Amino acid sequence: MVHGGADTSSAPQFCEVLREASLAGHRALVAGLLDAAEEAVKILEGSPLFNAGYGSVLNRDGEVEMDASIMEGTTGKFGAVAAIRSVSHPVSVARLVLEETPHVLLAGRGATEFARTRGFPPVDSRSSRMVEAWQRARDRAKQGLSPETSLFTGLPPDSSSPCDTVGCVVFHAGRVAAASSTGGSFMKAPGRVGDTPIPGAGIYASSSCAAACTGLGEAFIETLTAKYVDSLVELGIHPQEAAEKAIIRLAEKRGGAVGGIIVVDSRGRFGAAHNSRSFPVALVADGKLDESFIPRKIN
């Protein structure tokens, strides 16, 4: 199951990429759980429609700094990068951190240099749409005007634009994994890191379940929402109910914070909930797209 971010449009072009990502992940399952998670997120990172990889928002200085992570539930192994620059697929770098280093998180210049040593060439991750959004916001700020844009994208709130983090959860043969990637929040301070590379905040995977979150990163970090979902599922609560409870808790604890969560447990049960305007999700179950599945909106 993959999501494109809270408040992301459910227009056909967005849903088509999400379906492509979920099918790519399913095809990669023959190689392993992490392969499936990585391949699904790579599709989203490669699309300019989503706030990850090539479609990432710009920070205050007009640069792209990205966060990504990947986690396998049975082993508890976790790998992440934070504030990485100029790479096409941060989630792939995060996986190499997990598999080829004794660390769990590399940040900033160190993360970028690590990617170069592993064969990731320098790329410009700034899409034309995000550059234009940054220029508009900067011009309005110079005039003393408010941006009138989405916190996450720099685009008008009613536009067909992505919000925050993209992510996926994977189940196969009683095991689970999760992965996530994001460009962060629009006009953020250089070096700002969100919830995506923090285990238990933006993503989490254990022997019980895998969860991937999206929304304002600071709120998810302060509430450790992904780990909270895991604690509920561990108690026997269905993933759907766990996702709903976590969204309600997030809003209560952090002043109406907006977000979305997808979850799958080690029994193959799944759920998704959000309190945003939209939260498009694509689900592949038993090798087929489940077009009937709709995330539950919490008012």
The residues annotated as belonging to the active site are 165
Amino acid at 220: F
What the block records as the tokens of 295 is 């995330």
Cα–Cα dist 70/81, whole Å: 10
Alpha-carbon torsion (109, 114, 116, 117), positive or negative: positive
Cα–Cα dist 233/82, whole Å: 28
- Residue 55 DSSP label: G
Cβ proximity of 43 and 167 under 8 Å: no
Cα–Cα dist 49/69, whole Å: 20
Q: Measured in whole angstroms, how far is the alpha carbon of residue 235 from the centre of its chain? A: 25
What the block records as the tokens of 217 is 């990163």
For the chain, what's the residue count?
299
